[in-house]
Amino acid sequence: MHPVPSSGDGTRCVHGGRPHAGPGAPTHAGPVLSSTFDLGSGPDLPTDFYGRAGNPTWRAAEAAIGDLDGGECVLFASGMAAMGAVLRLGALKGDLVLPSDGYYLARSLALAELAPLGVVVREVPTGPPPDAAGAGLVLVETPSNPGLDVADIAAAADVAHAAGALLAVDNTTCTPLGQRPLELGADLVVASDTKALSGHGDVVMGHVSTRDPALAAALRESRSRSGAVPGPMEAWLLHRGLGTLDLRLARQAENARAVAELLLTHPAASDVRWPGLESDPAHAVAARQMRRWNGLLRFTLPSVEAVGRFLDAAQLVASETSFGSLRSSADRRARWGDAVDPGTLRFSAGCEDTADLVADVARALDSAMDSAT
Ligand SMILES: *Cc1c(COP(=O)(O)O)cnc(C)c1O
């Protein structure tokens, strides 16, 4: 059946949610695409009855991700669908305390759709635990996207719980292999699985995990009512991608370290942040609560034009938003309205050979300096 909790990350990624098939059953089952299920002739509903309420392909992926998160997982159609369910749940209990420097659409959703209904929304920067008085939900994002600042999850949980609020942690940048917020005291972990968890740049998906059965039931009901449901094909692709997460993260972290060390020595780059660097201001807290590093870093080039030259010259670095994919990529975050320098890039180290990626980025940084081209 499912791997025992003492299994390593790689084993759990490969075997999670994949029980022994039994004689004659497919050992690599495909997605169940049917929107309806046989209700039978008796009075009781079977587990699966309608595609918006439940699906065996979702449950297989949820079993695997829930095992890694250490809770019950509820898949959603996207990271923002998952975030929407969490924010609505929190707003039923009190004010929403959100990171001012985290993923911008979480704030935007709360401000545009919940604040007009009377929900108090407070924004606080990632760092020391926020003031949680009156809060129904405190959300922290750590390391934050795109700033890569780090919040102390256990300290945030203490503050939130003392105020009677739930703590939710956006764990997108880490994945459950990199950080287990539920073990650190969070009530909810929310993530965009569009990023490293699916890992191939071909799925939009999200999830929430919790140890509280009542919260899990509320999330499943919210998903069914709102219709924020993942397609079975996408859930199947997510589960397939998860199988290699351990391997991908290892290479991405190795590449991120090499790129970050190059950036520290290159005159074109400033403001380099990767929590795995011993010199990073967030390293101590990150090292205490994270289980392993990942491929996401940030740095700043002198101008928007320098960014353009960098992206033109880099052959292995795609200019795209999103991160955590096999291929390295970079995204100029000021384009999206993040409060960062116009030349700040969020860089996602992919799974290329380290020497190839470092050589390519070094060439591109040299080109970024060269204002004649
Ligand atoms: C991408 C992202 C989201 C939103 O997820 P989608 O799958 O794009 O809806 C939420 N939080 C963080 C930190 C993200 O990076």
Q: E strands within 153-311?
A: 166-170, 188-192, 206-210, 270-273, 296-300
Predicted TM-score (pTM) of the model is: 0.96
Residues 325 and 307 in one domain: yes
Residues 63 and 106 in one domain: yes
Residues 223 and 317 in one domain: no
Say if residues 343 and 322 touch (Cβ distance below 8 Å). no
Say if residues 114 and 121 touch (Cβ distance below 8 Å). yes
Residues 61 and 15 in one domain: yes
Q: Helix or strand or coil: residue 362?
A: helix
Structural domain boundaries, residue 17:
9-242
Q: Kindly state if the Cβ of 80 falls inside 6 Å of ligand 1.
A: yes
323 CA: nearest ligand 1 atom: 15
- Which residue is it, tokens 């609020």? 165
- The set of residues, in sequence order, having a beta carbon less than 8 Å from that of 24 and lying 6+ positions away, is none
CATH code at position 334: 3.90.1150.10
Q: Kindly state if the Cβ of 78 falls inside 6 Å of ligand 1.
A: yes
The tens place of each residue's pLDDT in the chain, 373 residues long, gives 455 557 899 999 999 999 888 999 999 999 999 999 999 999 999 999 999 999 999 999 999 999 999 999 999 999 999 999 999 999 999 999 999 999 999 999 999 999 999 999 999 998 888 999 999 999 999 999 888 999 999 999 999 999 999 999 999 999 999 999 999 999 999 999 999 999 999 999 999 999 999 999 999 999 999 999 999 999 999 999 999 999 999 999 999 999 999 999 999 999 999 999 999 999 999 999 999 999 999 999 999 999 999 999 999 999 999 999 999 999 999 999 888 999 999 999 999 999 999 999 999 999 999 875 4
What single string gives the DSSP state of each residue in 83-103? HHHHHHHHHTTSEEEEETTS-
Which two three-digit tokens encode residue 326? 């096999």
Q: From the CA of 228, how far away is ligand 1's center (Å)?
A: 15
Domain boundary among 208, 242, 276: 242
Q: Kindly state if the Cβ of 170 falls inside 6 Å of ligand 1.
A: yes
Residues 230 and 286 in one domain: no
Domain boundary among 220, 242, 264: 242
Residues 218 and 250 in one domain: no
Q: Kindly state if the Cβ of 144 falls inside 6 Å of ligand 1.
A: no
